[in-house]
């Protein structure tokens, strides 16, 4: 009996949920799931509705109204309550160690790479024009130079990471 009712109502619920969801800004899948839940609750308490199609249409509309009320009342958190934005001492120490390792590797790069990478990593957030003027090179050559320097840095750091890992 219940399986037949669900099979008979499925196409109507899909259509109703899709139409109402678009108009209300609700997710159609969420709306459909909520109506199925209401039907199960109804079947447990009062048995099947006398006019299932009419009941389904009114249940969809009732769920849309409930969803609108809920969305008006709910307010998102600015940040997660458990994440107050501050890092613990362990995280701060690890971050500082990573920054030191990166800066040390940058200083060991060949040619103009250390100066270029320092300019790119600068907290002043320099533009390409400012970096080119500071280094005395053309702005058009910054991209290829940066790519070459990043490749060198990547190889340098990969060699260090591989050398530090325990073997065996």
- pLDDT of 103-160, one tens digit each? 899 999 999 899 999 998 888 888 989 999 989 989 888 889 999 999 888 888 877 7
Q: Rounded distance, CA 34 to CA 56, Å?
A: 11
pTM of the model: 0.45
Q: Rounded distance, CA 8 to CA 6, Å?
A: 5
Mean pLDDT across 41-68: 91
Q: Which of 121, 122, 123, 116 is nearest to 142 (CA)?
A: 116
Domain 93-164: assigned CATH number: 1.10.10.10
């Amino acid at each position: 009996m219940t399986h037949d009712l669900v099979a008979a109502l499925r196409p109507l619920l899909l259509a109703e949920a899709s139409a109402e969801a678009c108009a209300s800004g609700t997710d159609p899948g969420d709306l459909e799931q909520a109506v199925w839940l209401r039907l199960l609750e109804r079947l447990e308490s009062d048995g099947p509705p006398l006019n299932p199609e009419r009941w389904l249409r009114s249940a969809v509309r009732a769920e849309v109204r409930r969803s609108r009320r809920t969305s008006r009342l709910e307010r998102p958190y600015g940040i997660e309550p458990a994440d107050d934005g501050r890092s613990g001492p362990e995280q701060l120490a690890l971050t500082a160690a990573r920054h030191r390792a990166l800066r040390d590797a940058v200083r060991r790069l060949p040619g103009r790479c250390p100066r270029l990478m320092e300019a790119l990593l600068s907290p002043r957030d320099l533009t390409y024009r400012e970096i080119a003027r500071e280094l005395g090179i053309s702005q058009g050559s910054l991209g290829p130079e940066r790519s070459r320097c990043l490749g060198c840095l990547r190889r340098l750091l990969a060699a260090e990471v591989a050398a530090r890992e325990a073997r065996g």
